[in-house]
Amino acid sequence: MSTTLPPAVAERLSKLRNREREHIEVGLAIAKAGERGMFSAHSVALAAIQRSLALIDGFSLMVEQRNVLCAAPLVRMQIDSVMRLFACQLVDDPNVVYNHLLEDKPLHRLKSRDGNDLRDAYLIKRLGKGYPWLETVYEGTSGFIHLSVYHFNAIWDSFNDGTQTISIAIRRSYGDRWKEAEMLEMIDAFGNTTTVLLEMCRALARISGSG
């Protein structure tokens, strides 16, 4: 299987990779805003920025290898960072969220200021009010996290109408089935999610800097 990317995909992926400087600038802004006293939400944001850079590297490599089964879960992981950042906005004291993350405790044990458990379903539903597309991407990429129809499709090679039989193949990847339009859609989903993440971090830096 050829791993040569279509020109449009290669260009879009290059733009995603070139966002490293943007991450660093946002991180510096957050650190500067916290000079008066770093509080928990700053640490959550900085960890999300570091994770984002790592995910961009991994996602880019998986796209280059046409490995959709590994690329898609990384989009879902980027959304996870956005949800954790968003959780800090939904409580009166972000330290509580930070401590739960630091101690590896599930956020659903916490409640938002309006009394709802901070479960993923609640977080993504609230995020969907401002970013309707994000909820759709969350649902689509979550299917790649668990063993699902996406993985069954990877082993079903062909179907013979005449004999009513399915040909099964086990291979390292089935990237030849990952169409250009689908690749572009996933890159855009990752890029748009990254934009949301950085917007949240910038907002935090502005609010902190004006305090």
**pLDDT range class, residue 3, cuts 50, 70, 90:** low
All structural domains of the chain with their residue ranges: 7-169+180-209
**Spatial CA neighbour of 106 closest among 95, 119, 89, 93:** 119
Tokens of 168: 């099964």
Q: Is the pLDDT of residue 20 over 60?
A: yes
User: According to the model, what pLDDT value does residue 152 have?
Assistant: 74
pLDDT higher than threshold 50 for residue 211: no
The model carries a pTM of 0.88
Question: What would the pLDDT profile of 192-207 be if each residue is shown by its tens digit?
Answer: 999 999 999 988 777 6
Collapsing DSSP to helix, strand or coil, 108 comes out as helix
pLDDT digits (tens, 9 = 90+) for 124-155: 999 999 999 999 999 999 999 988 777 777 77
Written as one letter, the residue type at 81 is: S
3-state secondary structure of 170: coil
pLDDT of residue 210: 47
Helices (H), the chain: 7-17, 20-33, 40-64, 68-89, 94-102, 120-130, 132-145, 149-155, 180-209
Helix (H, G, I), strand (E, B) or coil at 137: helix
pLDDT at 172: 64
Mean pLDDT of 65-72: 94
